[in-house]
Amino acid sequence: MSERIVIAGASGFIGAYLADAFRRRGASVALIGRNGPDASWGDPESILRVVDGADLLINLAGKSVDCRYDDVNRAEIFRSRLDTTRALADAVAASVNPPPLWINSSTATIYRHAEDRPMTEATGEIGTGFSVNVATAWERAFFARDLPGTRRVALRMAIVLGDGSALIPLMRLTQFGLGGPQRDGRWFATAARRNAGTFHEFRARGGRQRFSWVHIRDVLGTIDFVREHPELDGVLNVSSPNPVDNRAMMATLRRVVGRPFGLPAYRWMLEIGSAVIRTETELVLKSRWVVPERLLDAGYEFHHPELEPAVREIVTARGLPRTPAHS
């Protein structure tokens, strides 16, 4: 009999990748979303039906943070994570045969802006502001219930690279000669944005903000590893052991797509551009320096530990023009 895996919030590229990977292995995969197809938010009976007896529950549900942090979007970012996590906890608690493992998405953005040292699970410092508040509230909701039959692991994922990730628009910009570093600088702050915790303070200079990343194959690899190691619970950093800074990341993209130069983007350009396309500069200007100490200590070996081979693999899979691997 094939194993049964439940994925909540599988409409994004991570969920679609995982669902496809598990199905290729012969697993039965049930999906929970706003419109099903196997269970729907707001229908607790359907959620209980798919969760009860499942071998693995994975929750990725939550509105994308790639948006403008206005009042409506901030409320929906919170609600979409907390309500869905609590609904799953209700289903697990009510199950006759609860899933032995529940893996919940979290984010490496929970840590402070870090230019001085890497953030680990043991020594990392929790940051401040809206994005951090979302992450901490999400983890509290995940671990709040007493669920003795279910091991829980929260994956503090760095920026996930793959076909469909944030890497793709950066590649396109690089192909058009706009592949220089994103440079922070001074910018005015309104009282409303400061009070909401959505204003990015100027810190890193010259594109030196750290870029922590993970290939989507290692998201799947981490899930497999966690399943094989019952001693792992609580929070795990899911990030390549070799983060880079923004300058190195953009230089890597230029090499891979074969562009010898790239114009930099300054803070004023980023602020105007982000307002036009309805996103936030924090996504590229915050210094995320995260290392996966617990995974490494437990013996996990990354499929893609280095950035350039990981990016080349994604480019090759998409059939985009690229330079030879030795260049």
Q: How far is CA 152 from CA 3, 12, 115, 233, in A?
A: 19, 22, 31, 6
**Owner of token pair 């490496």:** 108
Tell me the per-residue pLDDT of 284-314, one tens digit each, with 9 for 90 and over: 999 999 999 999 999 999 999 999 999 999 9
Helix, strand, coil proportions of the chain in percent (round to 5)? 40, 15, 45
The 10s digit of each residue's pLDDT in 21-68 is 999 999 999 999 998 899 999 999 999 999 999 999 999 999 999 899
**Cα 310 off chain centre by:** 16
Task: Grade residue 322 by pLDDT with cuts at 50, 70 and 90.
Answer: very low
Gap between the Cα atoms of 160 and 166, Å rounded: 8
User: Would the pLDDT of 142 be above 90?
Assistant: yes
Over residues 67-99, the pLDDT tens digits come to 999 999 999 999 999 999 999 999 999 999 999
Average pLDDT, the chain: 93
pLDDT at 1 (0 to 100):
62
Taking only the tens place, the pLDDT of each residue in 102-122 is: 999 999 999 999 999 999 999
Q: What is the pLDDT of residues 163-216, one digit of tens each?
A: 877 888 888 888 888 899 999 999 998 998 898 899 999 999 999 999 999 999
Q: What is the pLDDT of residue 327?
A: 28
